[in-house]
Structure 1
């Protein structure tokens, strides 16, 4: 039974990760090239909040109760995009610091190799 639940959850996660547009966009933002788009992607949360507001207003006005599921879905996606903004900034800073460290190390190695090739004249 535990194995069945585990397999079902993994397959559901894989399906949602593969075919849902918001998850695909967030996966693209998490790449090295996409990290710079994290803060602008926070604006994608606005339409989701508008959808949630419209559906909750419809339910409050006597609409069907299943619209609560759309409200939950929209709020969840909006929160994912809002959280991704600061997370992408932190990841981008980490990547830039790592790149700077590598460049500094390469320059240091190149300078020590150049110093080793220059003959030293002793008087």
Structure 2
């Protein structure tokens, strides 16, 4: 039974990772080319939170209760977009520091190899 739960949770996670728009966007932001777009992605949180407020208003006016799930989903996605901005700046800083260190090591190695042959 435990194995079945693990297998199902892995399958659901893989499906959500591959086909849900915010997860696709999050994966694109985590890639080196997309890290610089993180602060702009934070602006996508505004429509998600606006949709949550709108759905909550509909629920207050008598809409079906299952819309609470959509409210939770939009709030979750809004916070995900808010989180991606600062995180991508940190990832980009770390990547640039790592690249600068690699360039520095490469220049040192080139200087040492050219100096030892002279």
Class of the TM-score when normalised by the shorter of the 2 chains: over 0.9
Q: How far apart in 2 are the matches of 1:99 and 1:19?
A: 32
Q: Helix, strand or coil: the match of 1:33?
A: helix
- Of stretches 54-63 and 67-76 in structure 1, the one that deviates more from structure 2 is 54-63
- Size of the alignment, in residue pairs? 118
For 1:23-71, what per-residue CA distance to the aligned partner results, in whole angstroms no more than 9, with x for missing partners? 1011011001111111100111111111101000111122211111110
Following TM superposition, by how much is the alpha carbon of 1:113 offset from its aligned partner in structure 2, in angstroms?
1.6
Report the equivalent of 2:47.
47
Q: How far apart in 2 are the matches of 1:51 and 1:68?
A: 12
Q: How does 1:74-113 map to 2 (within 5 A)?
A: 74-113=74-113
Unaligned ranges ≥5, structure 2: none
Report the equivalent of 1:27.
27
Q: Helix, strand or coil: the match of 1:34?
A: helix
Following TM superposition, by how much is the alpha carbon of 1:94 offset from its aligned partner in structure 2, in angstroms?
0.6
Q: How far apart in 2 are the matches of 1:3 and 1:79?
A: 31
Unaligned ranges ≥5, structure 1: 119-123
Report the equivalent of 2:9.
9
Q: If you compute each CA radius of gyration, which structure gives the higher value, 1 or 2?
A: 1
- Which structure has the highest helix share of the two? 2
Q: Helix, strand or coil: the match of 2:40?
A: helix
Q: What is the TM-score normalised by the length of structure 1?
A: 0.92
Q: How far apart in 1 are the matches of 2:116 and 2:11?
A: 57
